[in-house]
Structure 1
Amino acid sequence: MVIKHSLSKRLTWISLKVSGLILLVLILYSFLSKLDGADCGSCRGIYMSPAYARVKGFDETHTRLALKYSLYLYREQNIDIMPDDDEDKPLILSGTPVLFVPGNAGSYKQIRSIASESASSFYRDYIVQGKLSSLNKNTNNLDFFSADFNEDFTAFHGRTMLDQAEYLNEAIKFILDLYKDNETPAKSVIIIGHSMGGVVSRVMLTLPNYLDDSVNTIITLAAPHAAAPATFDGDLLNVFASTDEFWRNGYIQPPKTPLQLLANKRLQNVSLISITGGLLDNMLPADYTSLIGLIPASNGFSISTTGIPGVWTPIDHLAIVWCDQLRKKLAEVLLLIVDKTSTSQTYSLENRMEVFRKTLLSGFEKDSKQDSDSFKAGAGLIPFTHKLKIDTKQLKDTPKEHTFALPKINNKRDSYAPDMHLFYIPKDGLKFQFSYLSSIKPESIEKLGENSPSIMLCKTLSSDNPIQDDEYKKIIDYTDENTKHFVELKCVDVNKDIHTIPRSFKSSKSTSESSIGADSSPFYFLQLDSSILSKYDAVILAESSLKLENNQNDEGDFVLADIEIEQNAKLVGGESSLWTLFTRGYDLTLPAHRPIVITVDVPSAWSSLLAYKFDVRYEHSDTERFSPILAQSINDETKWHINLKENNYITSTIQGVSPFCPFYKKYSNLKLFLFSDSLATDKVVDIYMSIDWFKSLKLLVMKYRLSIVSLPIFIISVVIFLQFKHFIKTDHFPSFYDCLLEVYDIKTLIPLCTTVSLLSIVTANKSFQMLLNFLDPVENGNLDLMQYIENENVHINLYFLGLEEKALWFFGPIAMIISLSLVSAVYDILVFTGKLLGYVYFRCFPTSKQGIFNRRRAIGTALLIGSIPLYLPFQFAYIVCIVVQAIVVIRNFAYMIKASRAQELSEKGQDPANIFSKATSNSSSKTAAASSIPVPSTKIETSYPVSISSAINNSKSSSQVYENFINFNVTLFMLMFWILPINIPVLVVWIHNFSLKWATPFSSHHNFLAVIPIVLLIQNNVSGNFISRPNSKLTIFITKFIIAYLSIYSLIYGARHLFWLHHLLNLLAAWILILLINDYLYPNNSSLPNESKDSSSLKLH
């Protein structure tokens, strides 16, 4: 039976198929295109002299897992003390222990770059240069240990994660035991985790064998804390969920339940820092490294390498462990948090977090200012350090000035400029902002005689509450015997609050030119907002003795400062409407007389699915002391765009609101910071904002790479639903192609696209999400715990495409068109390949003389099923099933070719048996290989498998019977083929363990019930038995419900729960077998309503 399709339907199919494939090619091209600007990596190469000593004492007497894993000690040659070659001598260590945990398929040797720099930095900065007192007087050298997991695939398998965490807990006990005889025995270990190693580090603290207080600092590099990077394994998702729940319960105050009490005890002193490489990481979405909703800000934060001072570059997934700029920063941080006088070997949680914030944050983050001296002194947390007594003659011009610049562009004064420049902070109710930008690093006021300036925040001394002079760190008196009027101030030196930013001159090309270890020095920036300035009366800028000259053609040094009304320094770029940004864009004009640093809030830029384009237009001035800089900041990510040129286009990608990841409800939009020498020009700056759609395509790959499996399964399930609907109605099982064209029909396609468009919008609704969460059989993250940690300022969308942007409703239809095109293309390829192999099969293999039941096949099936509970994972059986099903399809195509050739010979009056005799004579040597294949009869009407030809005596024609059979098998193979990627990763883990001769228990993966229905259904297909048609209202309803549930689940939940789609396929297979059994046991009850019993006897069994 052939279903006829109209020309318009075929044209729609062709046009949409081509459009979808073009979109897919554009997405791949965008993804593979080279990044530029702030997203272009610029890591420098590194050198080291590594040596690794295996810790042989940590063997199977300590843990059973020592048979599979091992522990190494890193030593930097010519710096670290090397262990003795004599294994009988004990290993003597005097440093602070650090444990490195490699990630998915990672190596223990990846620690070498960070360990090498730490050893070199300690020796160079603390020993040779003697900076103990100025940096950290209690620091110590670091002993780096590294776990060798034989390149385990932790991203694919939950049990492997638990094994590694268990092993590491025992390793820490052993490591700490090595320090028990030291003067101050170490009681805890610092952990550095790369990729999945960062998640394993968190899992460690949840296990029963964890030693209390043995871990208090965890630094993770490109670790997926917010979401599992792969959802192929249910055990993996359970480990993620239970670990996240444990950590979130650890910060409930006061703890009440036993879980909360245990978690609070283990986590209250733990700091967790998550570092991501940003967009350059093509293995893990940068958004997955977020700690939002997991821990409070008092215990950790996440940060991008593009914003870490002195690093300023994105880093790919593997380079993040060796990038020179980052390893120098990590070495600095580690040596600053170490306290060798404490048994914990680190400072307190508060002190560690202060070091992390001051060293790693860019200064734009909301939590960065709490550690500044300016904030602490204003809040009364630290005393004022200096007392100034200044002759008012020195300040004669400053009451009129709100700006300061060196060198002077137009110096109208002939008198000598004062050493002290005072910026009064008016108390008239207005809010002010002070900004400082310089190529010269400010120093303490005690070093004013050198080349650097100094900045202080001051308050007028009150006679009502005087401070004794001996309480000040230093008293500076600028008065003499001729002084008539003076002012006394108590001040705090804020030179330690200065932040470094990338250098930007006309010749600057990359932020790496002024990063850590580069030849050029960076710029230095300080910004004090009204919350700090309101606590003071004035800002003092003490000018250095160095006189800066005008160098208009050179990259000369400069100092710029101003104090402005805060409202004038903060502008809003456009509205919050994304749709307006799509269609018209936004224009913003910055005034000619503007602050040197101006903040632009962009309320419409908050989606991480879009690339934002900023066209910055301004007129360049020859008197500019530096080239303009544009910084972008959102949450904990900062990027720098340096050396802006006239009519410069900047593309901005952000870590904003991302699908499937927790995000802040507030404060999640992009902010721009424009640094310009506004004192040297009187020209306006225009900024035009729009969307860069081509680069936005690149972002879809990392966000929706798992949807490339789930959405096509949705399409296939819809096709199967239409096939069964037609089968139940007409007893004809149409081809996959025919029903796929029905999906392309306008009458089906428009409602489908409308549905997914609305679904993109309603899945962001909180009430609808509660309903979807209730209906989901797989447990999700606890939103209530997330909101407790973030004071209800957190949300997450785990459904369909995870969209929060209503303006992106069209992403749903686009995803459908791409999925339809992908399914169509794969179907065409599989059918073409199947027919080609079927032709080869027809030419090479003879037909079998045996019957349907094959003893060897039954024995093989029994052995396959029996081995699953004992050793093999059920994924192995699934691979066998899909291979067998492929053979069934190929064999069916071969029979179809034979039947077609036989029909041609019969029409010509020739004996159709000739083609079979020729095939047999041409390949007689291959009879044994094909002995399990049922024999088609040599008669034209019985050129099909025996079980199928047995149905030909009823009212259905032989061609219709066989058409039903081959159509069903092709459809089943399509569904199994798309579910195949879900099962491969766990099988890869099993093969890896098999190669190591390690029999890891796979728990749920040995559940033979998860694959028995699929195995039996495939064996039924091999036997040539066709499925039974649902023939009652109940069986019809259940059949449609199961297929519809598979379709809906793959659409809404599939991307985050891919493993569950296998079980739904297994459920469908089980139901088809139940229909077969029911039809076999009760053949007289097979008729449909209004159908004669004669026609109902066509069931194949």
Structure 2
Amino acid sequence: MSRLLAVFSAFSLAAVLVLYYAGLGIYHSLSPQGCRMSWMWPSYVLQTKFDHTWTPLARRYSLWLYREANRESHELHGAPVLFIPGNAGSSHQARSIASSAANQYHSSPYEVSPEFANEKYSGLDFFAVEFNEDLSAFHGPTIDSETTYATRAIDYILSLYPPNTSIIVMGHSMGGVVATALLPNPNISAIITMSTPHILPPVRFDRRIDHIYAQNHKHLAADPTPVLSLCGGATDLMIQSESCILSPTVLNFNTSLYRRTVFTSALEGCWTGVGHLAMVWCHQVRWRVARAALEIAAVQTVKERALVMDRWLRDGHVPPPVAFPTGTVRYEAGQYRRAPANQHLLIRDPVGTETYALPLPPPEEGQTMAKFVLYASQGSVPPLSPHHPLPFRATVYLCDDIPDLSCTPLDPTTLKLIPSPMPGLPFPVPDEGSDESEGVVLYEADVPLNAGSLVAVTIERGDRRGWVFGGYAESEPMNIDVGLTSLLLSSVDISLPSSIRVQINLPIVPANALLVYRLTPGYDQESSCTSESVLSPLLAHTSHPSETHYFPLAPNFGRRILLHSHAAGPYITSDHPVGHTLTVHTSGECLVNEIQLTVDWWATIGRWGSRYGTAAACWAVGIMAVLMWDVLCIAANGAPIPDVQNALEFFARRRLPFMVMGSYFVSLLPLRVGLWLGNGGNHYFAPLAMILLPITFGLVCVMWLLLRILLWPLQRLLQVLGSRREDTAIRRPRTAILSMGLIFLVIFILVPWQVAYLGCWLIHFYTCASSLASLASHTSSAGTGAVPLIAMPGHGETAEQEVDVAHRPTIPQRRCLEQQINAHLHLLLLMTWLLPLVAPVLAVWVRTLATAGFTTPFDGDHNFLYVAPFLILVEVLSGGEASVHAKAFFGSGGKERVSPRWGFAALAVIAFFTGPRTTYMVFETASVAVGWVVTARVVPVYWGATS
């Protein structure tokens, strides 16, 4: 390998390593996980009656009923729930949620818990389908098979219950896609998906997957069934969480439909990122999902089911689904305590019942509203509280002092549960996280300054535990017009006022999954930042209505504060591409008076690799298409076919610089979001194309080096053993057609075409090694072999002239063999880069054979036309006349109106522009491009030579 190609290879490998390690750091630095492990006593009952009489897929899949062995009997006793696992998932993944439901419903073995003693409640019968760890993410027909089986499973399950029984469906990962594909179904009462990529499939190697997603989007836009999507955020390294959001912009659903997205970082009582697999066993998530299912089963209407999900799976963006109290309350003098003006209310360890009155602040010029904020630790502000709250409750009123207080309840603008990190401990605490009883109720209300004279807070049933803190905060948010350019070039300092709640809006800072910002707090030196503070500074970062992250701002918090978002991302249309809101909550003892913002480059780079890996594979095919274009142009002009190394060097010197510069300007075009890099012309992300292109070219060079290394041992072995090349002169077209037809029939009936393509690649790999061995043997024999017998020199001839004549035929023979090898290796490199586009389906097929054998057909992927051009090409290039057919492939076809090399130009356009979004189109276009050349040039030569 030349020095130039070696430099690109080293650069590419170094870049891949940087992207890999930066991506690994996301799990620990960007959004660490704090989940408690769940424990259970599992028992599984196989549903043997759900057999082939219900569905032929019963020979491939199975249905199980989960039972908590120390709580329940095996008889059906409640409402049905169906759990659908995802890619490579298992029916056993249902055990964590099912166990939590059983333990919540039963206080002891076979005894119903008092809170579910009402006759409207019943236990849950958790059924789970077993798909034998099918790789459904890679294969649309597999998703269709799973959907068909799940549909019949629902029919079977409901046949075990009284008429009009409905079923709750839960899906994890791609199981959520299957669950959505079950719609419309009047028997499904609600769907809860966990870590499901609803908007964009994680991989796009199959045209059928796009069709399934299009159908699901129609169902989500029109079907009345409530659907809730739980997302793990950046901690989920298997899917891009921006595709987990049920976006109204993408799905175009009516706002009257219940479509809710909740990130676990904002899920009340959870407040942590959750990994892809951990989503089903993370205790803070599973018990809330189980509780929601228990209550969904007890209600009848769609509205009631939606209210239940909003009660138990809420992130604070939606008001609590309970009406607030109304009516007038009067307090006489002596029944309340009046706080001094401009003072905060702080009640530690409340006792009994007390009412506290806080006068409204004097209005400033132009001010009409005041912001009242109340924090209640582990207590309740009706109707909201932690799961197991302390006895005390706080109620807020707006009062007139006349002279007794005449008060009416003050409805909040915000009422949600926020975390209260423990001083000195990481947040979230690894392997532990938060407890159900933890949390601080945040109450916010806008108070008209002309509507009353004071705000009263009544605290009831205090038992000397917990605390309540409240007061007036800055009513208007701070709008900071800082842009990404300032954050890229340097850091930006923002001064904060002294307030118990400060909101900072960054309206023009992009909220994108490709960007991570670092925040550094500065503290008021006169404040006391100790563990005695009732509420240490807490930052709430919101970039999307469904996504909030919490960060302690205490000085002893050691982890970097990294702000990230899933509001927008590559290849996804977003309704919130810009804007961040930062809210600092504090009790006032420890004040943050400044924050510093900048871009965190290491974490930002870590976000790139996971989102552009597929793009790199497709762009590599695009580079190979340009390479093939160049070689076809050179050969069409009568020049020899260059070897792969020279072609790569020509690309690096003559093509790559212009393509890198051109990629920047293309990235500035307002292209549709599914094209190119999927950023819709955002100029901030244009340099990414200039980085990705050299990295991809370096990977092509690395692949070329790897192929030569792999070819060498086989070449040496064939050189030692000797390889007999087949003479195509004795092979008739009829024989070739019959054999090819038999292969096509096998593909059409039995094996997927991807298997045939792998066979093509293996045969061509052997052909390349055999050609290299023949060249090495020819060179060796020409240099050291015996001198052939020659005739005596005739009149006027010398012996030296006769020797030259005897050796002269070896020179064109060697050149012909070199041209043949160059052609073979170009095609091998192209076919190698197409191999990753078909390998996932190969894995699915092998997995299906291993688990189900031939008991059920492998649906789809039997269109032999995809692989036919490669089969024909490998056939003609593996024979004794391979040099003739290679020359025909790369050489001029004579009187061609349109040169077939334009097929490779189309392949380059598809690979670069649409490949990352619709990967399957890359192979389809490659098949058409190769088929065009084979049909126009190779087949006529082959037919004419053998007829």
- Indicate the TM-score class for this superposition, using the shorter chain for normalisation: 0.7 to 0.9
Q: CA, structure 1 residues 1075+531, in 2 after alignment: closer, same or farther (shift >3 Å)?
A: farther
Q: CA, structure 1 residues 868+533, in 2 after alignment: closer, same or farther (shift >3 Å)?
A: farther
Higher alpha-carbon deviation: 981-990 or 227-236: 981-990
- Cα distance in 2 for partners of 1:227, 1:534 equals 50
Aligned ranges 1:847-996 → 2 under 5 Å: 847=724, 853=730, 861-905=740-784, 910-911=786-787, 957-995=812-850, 996=852
Aligned ranges 1:811-830 → 2 under 5 Å: 811-830=688-707
Q: 2:138, 2:205 within 8 Å by CA — same for their partners in 1?
A: yes
Q: Is 1:68 matched with 2:51?
A: no
Q: 2:397, 2:410 within 8 Å by CA — same for their partners in 1?
A: yes
Aligned partner of 1:387 in structure 2 is: 328
Once the two structures are TM-superposed, the CA of residue 273 in structure 1 deviates from its matched residue by 0.7
Aligned partner of 2:99 in structure 1 is: 116
Q: CA, structure 1 residues 1081+601, in 2 after alignment: closer, same or farther (shift >3 Å)?
A: closer
Higher alpha-carbon deviation: 879-888 or 116-125: 116-125
Higher alpha-carbon deviation: 39-48 or 807-816: 39-48
Q: Is 1:559 matched with 2:468?
A: yes
- Structure with greater proportional strand content: 2
Aligned partner of 2:168 in structure 1 is: 190
- Cα distance in 2 for partners of 1:535, 1:511 equals 42
Q: Is 1:353 matched with 2:287?
A: no
Aligned residue pairs: how many?
A: 906
Match of 1:310 among 243, 262, 269: 269
Q: 1:838, 1:890 within 8 Å by CA — same for their partners in 2?
A: yes
- Cα distance in 1 for partners of 2:553, 2:111 equals 39
- Cα distance in 1 for partners of 2:384, 2:86 equals 48
Aligned ranges 1:331-350 → 2 under 5 Å: 331-339=290-298, 346-350=299-303
- Cα distance in 2 for partners of 1:153, 1:675 equals 45
- Deviations along 1:427-473, whole A, 9 cap, x unmatched? 975233222223241366999x9962512234669xxxxxxxxxxxx
- Cα distance in 2 for partners of 1:158, 1:193 equals 17
- Cα distance in 1 for partners of 2:824, 2:869 equals 15
Higher alpha-carbon deviation: 97-106 or 620-629: 620-629
- Cα distance in 2 for partners of 1:1058, 1:282 equals 21
Q: Is 1:325 matched with 2:284?
A: yes
Q: CA, structure 1 residues 446+119, in 2 after alignment: closer, same or farther (shift >3 Å)?
A: closer
Once the two structures are TM-superposed, the CA of residue 36 in structure 1 deviates from its matched residue by 2.9
- Cα distance in 1 for partners of 2:191, 2:29 equals 31
Q: Is 1:640 matched with 2:550?
A: yes
- Cα distance in 2 for partners of 1:811, 1:743 equals 20
Aligned ranges 1:711-790 → 2 under 5 Å: 711-745=619-653, 747-762=654-669, 765=670, 768-769=671-672
Aligned ranges 1:54-203 → 2 under 5 Å: 54-83=46-75, 93-124=76-107, 130-132=114-116, 138-180=120-162, 185-203=163-181
- Cα distance in 2 for partners of 1:983, 1:177 equals 41
Q: Is 1:631 matched with 2:540?
A: yes
Once the two structures are TM-superposed, the CA of residue 1000 in structure 1 deviates from its matched residue by 4.8
Aligned partner of 1:655 in structure 2 is: 566
- Cα distance in 2 for partners of 1:978, 1:533 equals 69
- Cα distance in 2 for partners of 1:670, 1:740 equals 45
Q: Secondary structure at the match of 1:1026?
A: helix
Match of 1:586 among 481, 492, 502: 492
Q: Structure 1 counterpart of 2:405, which letter?
A: V
Aligned ranges 1:1035-1050 → 2 under 5 Å: 1035=896, 1037-1050=898-911
Q: CA, structure 1 residues 803+529, in 2 after alignment: closer, same or farther (shift >3 Å)?
A: farther
Identical positions, percent: 23
Once the two structures are TM-superposed, the CA of residue 728 in structure 1 deviates from its matched residue by 1.4
Q: TM-score, normalised by structure 2?
A: 0.88
Aligned partner of 2:800 in structure 1 is: none
Q: Is 1:699 matched with 2:607?
A: yes
Q: CA, structure 1 residues 545+63, in 2 after alignment: closer, same or farther (shift >3 Å)?
A: closer
Q: 1:394, 1:420 within 8 Å by CA — same for their partners in 2?
A: no
Match of 2:213 among 218, 237, 240: 240
Once the two structures are TM-superposed, the CA of residue 721 in structure 1 deviates from its matched residue by 1.3
- Cα distance in 1 for partners of 2:430, 2:538 equals 15
- Deviations along 1:1019-1051, whole A, 9 cap, x unmatched? 111012324255468737432321111011000
Q: Secondary structure at the match of 1:641?
A: strand
Q: Secondary structure at the match of 2:657?
A: helix
- Cα distance in 2 for partners of 1:320, 1:886 equals 43
- Cα distance in 2 for partners of 1:1065, 1:617 equals 57
- Cα distance in 1 for partners of 2:446, 2:833 equals 58
- Cα distance in 1 for partners of 2:633, 2:450 equals 73
Match of 2:315 among 343, 351, 362: 362
Once the two structures are TM-superposed, the CA of residue 557 in structure 1 deviates from its matched residue by 4.7
Q: CA, structure 1 residues 865+940, in 2 after alignment: closer, same or farther (shift >3 Å)?
A: farther
- Deviations along 1:405-439, whole A, 9 cap, x unmatched? 2359xxxxxxx997322454889752332222232
Q: Structure 2 counterpart of 1:661, which letter?
A: I
Q: Secondary structure at the match of 2:107?
A: helix
Q: CA, structure 1 residues 529+805, in 2 after alignment: closer, same or farther (shift >3 Å)?
A: farther
Q: 1:435, 1:525 within 8 Å by CA — same for their partners in 2?
A: no
Once the two structures are TM-superposed, the CA of residue 67 in structure 1 deviates from its matched residue by 2.4
- Cα distance in 2 for partners of 1:545, 1:245 equals 51
Q: Is 1:664 matched with 2:575?
A: yes
Q: CA, structure 1 residues 239+418, in 2 after alignment: closer, same or farther (shift >3 Å)?
A: closer
Once the two structures are TM-superposed, the CA of residue 538 in structure 1 deviates from its matched residue by 5.4
Match of 1:25 among 2, 12, 17: 17
Q: Secondary structure at the match of 2:668?
A: helix
Q: Structure 2 counterpart of 1:157, which letter?
A: H
- Deviations along 1:919-952, whole A, 9 cap, x unmatched? xxxxxxxxxxxxxxxxxxxx97667xxxxxxxx8
Structure 2 gap segments, 5+ residues each: 790-805
Aligned partner of 2:394 in structure 1 is: 454
Q: CA, structure 1 residues 514+601, in 2 after alignment: closer, same or farther (shift >3 Å)?
A: farther
Q: Structure 1 counterpart of 2:279, which letter?
A: I
Q: CA, structure 1 residues 456+124, in 2 after alignment: closer, same or farther (shift >3 Å)?
A: farther
Q: 1:436, 1:560 within 8 Å by CA — same for their partners in 2?
A: yes
Once the two structures are TM-superposed, the CA of residue 490 in structure 1 deviates from its matched residue by 3.0
Higher alpha-carbon deviation: 845-854 or 697-706: 845-854
Aligned partner of 1:1065 in structure 2 is: 926
- Cα distance in 2 for partners of 1:585, 1:1100 equals 73
Q: TM-score, normalised by structure 1?
A: 0.76
Structure 1 gap segments, 5+ residues each: 84-92, 207-211, 251-266, 340-345, 378-383, 409-415, 462-483, 549-555, 770-795, 914-938, 944-951, 1084-1098
Q: Structure 1 counterpart of 2:625, which letter?
A: S
Q: Is 1:1026 matched with 2:889?
A: no
CA RMSD in angstroms comes to 3.6
Once the two structures are TM-superposed, the CA of residue 676 in structure 1 deviates from its matched residue by 2.2
- Cα distance in 2 for partners of 1:843, 1:833 equals 17
Aligned ranges 1:836-855 → 2 under 5 Å: 836-847=713-724, 853=730
Q: Structure 2 counterpart of 1:45, which letter?
A: M
Q: 2:414, 2:444 within 8 Å by CA — same for their partners in 1?
A: no
Aligned ranges 1:397-796 → 2 under 5 Å: 397-398=338-339, 400-401=341-342, 403-407=344-348, 419-422=355-358, 424=360, 430-442=368-380, 452-458=392-398, 485-491=403-409, 498-512=415-429, 518=435, 521-530=437-446, 539-543=455-459, 557-567=466-476, 570-575=477-482, 577-591=483-497, 593-601=498-506, 603-618=508-523, 619=525, 621=528, 622=530, 624-635=533-544, 636-642=546-552, 644-645=554-555, 649-665=560-576, 668-678=578-588, 680=589, 685-745=593-653, 747-762=654-669, 765=670, 768-769=671-672, 796=673
Once the two structures are TM-superposed, the CA of residue 961 in structure 1 deviates from its matched residue by 2.4
